[in-house]
A and B are shown apart, each in its own frame.
Chain A
Amino acid sequence: MSAALLEVTDLEAGYGPINVLHKLSLRVDRGEIVAMIGANGAGKTTTLMCLSGVVKARGGKVVFDGRDLVAERVPAHNIVRLGLAQSPEGRKIFSRLTVLENLEMGAFTRADKDGVRADIEKSFVMFPILRERQHQAGGLLSGGQQQMLAIARALMARPKLLLLDEPSLGLAPQIVVQIFDVIKELNRQGMSVLLVEQNARMALKVAHRGYVLETGRITFTDTGETLLNDPRIRAAYLGE
């Protein structure tokens, strides 16, 4: 078993005639939190959707846990089964399913009913508010609660790698802190995480390593701490 859980090489993807990602390469090792930061429109969401198979790769390799998802043309609905789950940008909660049903959908690929029930219980321990509101429609939750639900729902697949797209977007600062604490705790328990954020400071603080994405190209990569202290990054992404 190699250290790299995810190894992306020269990934190309886009929409219609436009290429958004240009020979993008990145790696996530087992047990790592890797952050990807970049301005609005840089291609972060496209990258994650490409990894999840929702956007089709036009070239390059996505080797996940030893299998090349691009070469094998693994369809989106089978990628989750391989252990790659995502909490998407904007949460994408099923607004008219209950909180409980949203969690069940996260476990759609699983057949072990007892395990699913145990994992729902774990979500409730992680985010007690979800237990309180389990029978309410997902659309009735606040933004922060929806973000918690989106993360819990992704975890219901029991992934090896968790993709998080802008989990702090639009949330009050204390909720952001709570969400990031959960990310750290999940990682401490062994979860590998690829974290996409516009909140570069928060992301680079928790990340072991980071990548900077500019118009579909990786322009910097280093440890989270080094990036956090790099004057160019500070000027461009930390508002200094």
Chain B
Amino acid sequence: MLDVFAQTGAAGFEQFLLLGLVMGSLYALIALGYTMVYGIIELINFAHGDLFMLGGFLAWQLAWTLGVRTLDASSTGAVVGAVALMLVTAPLACAALNVATDRVIYRPLRSAPKLTVIVSAIGVSFVFMNVGSLWLGTSPVKFPDLVPDANLVTAAGVRFTWKDLMVVGVTVPTMVALTLFVKFTPLGKAMRATAQNPTAAKLMGINVDRVIAVTFAIGGSLAGVAAVVNGLYNKSVHYQMGFQNGLYAFTAAVLGGIGNIPGAVLGGLVIGVVGELSKAYLGTKWSEAVVFTILIVILVFRPSGLLGARTREKV
């Protein structure tokens, strides 16, 4: 996925753990979009990873159009401005696209058999991927390298760079804000109520379609945030990157207990750490096998995931 250690040479366990946590918080952001949508309409939104990809492309386009393409060639003000603009625009665009997809495609299928909706989500995924390939082609595209790689800590054997700080500094507050929103605001409570019992939610006077739209908006904007952070961190975007990241994030959501918000965060961190540790100690080619083996083992012993309490119909 990324290779910051090419420059650091040998690195210790703590380093891989840290890297795993950084990657994991990115997976967690994407996983939240899967888990929230599943929680509320029991749809595995296969297009979610590709939405993340389109968010990354949009961020790239912004930087490119603004001419902010490298750290050295741009003023600090321009870099900060460009990053800030990306962090506002990509989430808004992803939210709008996610809401529109729900409105146009999933909502008319709300009472259709689940398989119908899932197949249409797979269709949307391909459409997004095609849009991506038409937009920036089928080869990886270099993302503007706008965040310094300079080390921030002096502890022996551990590197923590501006880039790592950016990931943590964006993802952690985002997740905290989401948690507070869902836990304490009336709309957040309405979301939980709708997820638990849509009929009862209607009887309470909750506009369920609106709550679902808000859920798609939040899931989309988290994917947009993740897309910007991922682009800046991994310095590359590709039309198929939604597939791999989406698969990991989806795995994270299932691992944590699909439909469960803290579960998605936990699942993301576990997948990130396991992925990076297995890459470091077993080799890149083994990391996916290890990630999915652990997923299978956990699901055999805890079918509802690490934090999932209920058993609902799964697809």
Residue of B203, B206, B207, B309 most packed against chain A (CB within 10 A): B203
Whether B205 is near chain A, meaning CB under 8 Å from some CB there, is: yes
Complex Cα distance, B193 from A86, in Å, reads 16
Q: Mark A49-80, 1 if CB is under 8 A from B, else 0.
A: 00011100000000000000000000111111
Q: Mark B292-315, 1 if CB is under 8 A from A, else 0.
A: 000000000000000001100000
Which one, A77, A88, A101, contacts B206 given CB within 8 A? A77
- Establish whether residues B205 and A54, one from each chain, have CB atoms under 8 Å apart when the complex forms: no
- Establish whether residues A88 and B205, one from each chain, have CB atoms under 8 Å apart when the complex forms: no
Chain A residues contacting B192 (CB-CB under 8 Å) are 94, 96-97
Whether B196 is near chain A, meaning CB under 8 Å from some CB there, is: yes
Whether B96 is near chain A, meaning CB under 8 Å from some CB there, is: no
Instruction: Contacts A96-B309, A101-B193 known; list 4 others, CB within 8 Å.
Output: A53-B202, A94-B192, A96-B192, A96-B310
Q: Mark B178-219, 1 if CB is under 8 A from A, else 0.
A: 000000001001101100110111111111100000000000
Chain A residues contacting B186 (CB-CB under 8 Å) are 104, 108
- Establish whether residues A105 and B189, one from each chain, have CB atoms under 8 Å apart when the complex forms: yes
Looking at chain B's contact residues, the main secondary structure is helix
Complex Cα distance, B189 from A52, in Å, reads 21
Residue of B197, B206, B208, B310 most packed against chain A (CB within 10 A): B197
Nearest CB in chain B to that of A81: its residue: B205
- Establish whether residues A95 and B196, one from each chain, have CB atoms under 8 Å apart when the complex forms: yes
Whether A20 is near chain B, meaning CB under 8 Å from some CB there, is: no
Complex Cα distance, B310 from A17, in Å, reads 33
Which one, A52, A81, A104, A154, contacts B202 given CB within 8 A? A52
Whether A106 is near chain B, meaning CB under 8 Å from some CB there, is: yes
Whether A157 is near chain B, meaning CB under 8 Å from some CB there, is: yes
Whether A219 is near chain B, meaning CB under 8 Å from some CB there, is: no
- Establish whether residues A80 and B203, one from each chain, have CB atoms under 8 Å apart when the complex forms: yes
Residue of A77, A79, A106 most packed against chain B (CB within 10 A): A77
- Establish whether residues B196 and A80, one from each chain, have CB atoms under 8 Å apart when the complex forms: no
B125 CB → nearest A CB, Å:
30
Chain A residues contacting B189 (CB-CB under 8 Å) are 97, 101, 104-105
Whether A109 is near chain B, meaning CB under 8 Å from some CB there, is: yes
Chain A residues contacting B190 (CB-CB under 8 Å) are 105, 108
What size tier do the contact residues of chain B reach? 10 to 19
Chain A residues contacting B204 (CB-CB under 8 Å) are 80, 105-106, 108-109, 153, 157
- Establish whether residues A94 and B202, one from each chain, have CB atoms under 8 Å apart when the complex forms: no
Instruction: Please provide the chain B residues from 149 to 201 with a CB less than 8 Å away from any CB of chain A in the complex.
Output: 186, 189-190, 192-193, 196-197, 199-201
Whether A234 is near chain B, meaning CB under 8 Å from some CB there, is: no
Chain B residues contacting A93 (CB-CB under 8 Å) are 197, 200
Chain A residues contacting B199 (CB-CB under 8 Å) are 54, 88, 92
Complex Cα distance, B195 from A94, in Å, reads 9
- Establish whether residues B200 and A88, one from each chain, have CB atoms under 8 Å apart when the complex forms: yes
Nearest CB in chain B to that of A163: its residue: B203
- Establish whether residues A94 and B197, one from each chain, have CB atoms under 8 Å apart when the complex forms: yes
Nearest CB in chain A to that of B186: its residue: A108
Q: Mark A83-104, 1 if CB is under 8 A from B, else 0.
A: 0011010001111110001001
Given contacts A94-B193, A97-B189, A105-B189, contact A52 B203 (CB under 8 A): yes
Complex Cα distance, B189 from A79, in Å, reads 20
- Establish whether residues B203 and A92, one from each chain, have CB atoms under 8 Å apart when the complex forms: yes
- Establish whether residues A157 and B202, one from each chain, have CB atoms under 8 Å apart when the complex forms: no
Chain A residues contacting B207 (CB-CB under 8 Å) are 75, 77
Complex Cα distance, B200 from A101, in Å, reads 13
- Establish whether residues A92 and B205, one from each chain, have CB atoms under 8 Å apart when the complex forms: no
Complex Cα distance, B209 from A75, in Å, reads 11
Chain B residues contacting A109 (CB-CB under 8 Å) are 204-205
Nearest CB in chain A to that of B211: its residue: A77
Complex Cα distance, B203 from A106, in Å, reads 8
- Establish whether residues B205 and A80, one from each chain, have CB atoms under 8 Å apart when the complex forms: yes
Chain A residues contacting B200 (CB-CB under 8 Å) are 88, 92-94
B120 CB → nearest A CB, Å:
21
Residue of B186, B200, B206 most packed against chain A (CB within 10 A): B200
Complex Cα distance, B220 from A40, in Å, reads 44
Complex Cα distance, B168 from A57, in Å, reads 52
B202 CB → nearest A CB, Å:
4
Complex Cα distance, B271 from A180, in Å, reads 53
A to B CB contacts below 8 Å, 17 in the list: A54-B202, A75-B207, A76-B202, A76-B208, A77-B206, A77-B207, A86-B203, A88-B203, A94-B197, A94-B200, A95-B196, A97-B189, A104-B186, A104-B189, A105-B204, A157-B204, A157-B205
- Establish whether residues B203 and A85, one from each chain, have CB atoms under 8 Å apart when the complex forms: yes
A79 CB → nearest B CB, Å:
8
A190 CB → nearest B CB, Å:
22
Chain A residues contacting B197 (CB-CB under 8 Å) are 92-95
Nearest CB in chain B to that of A156: its residue: B204
Chain B residues contacting A75 (CB-CB under 8 Å) are 207
Complex Cα distance, B183 from A97, in Å, reads 10
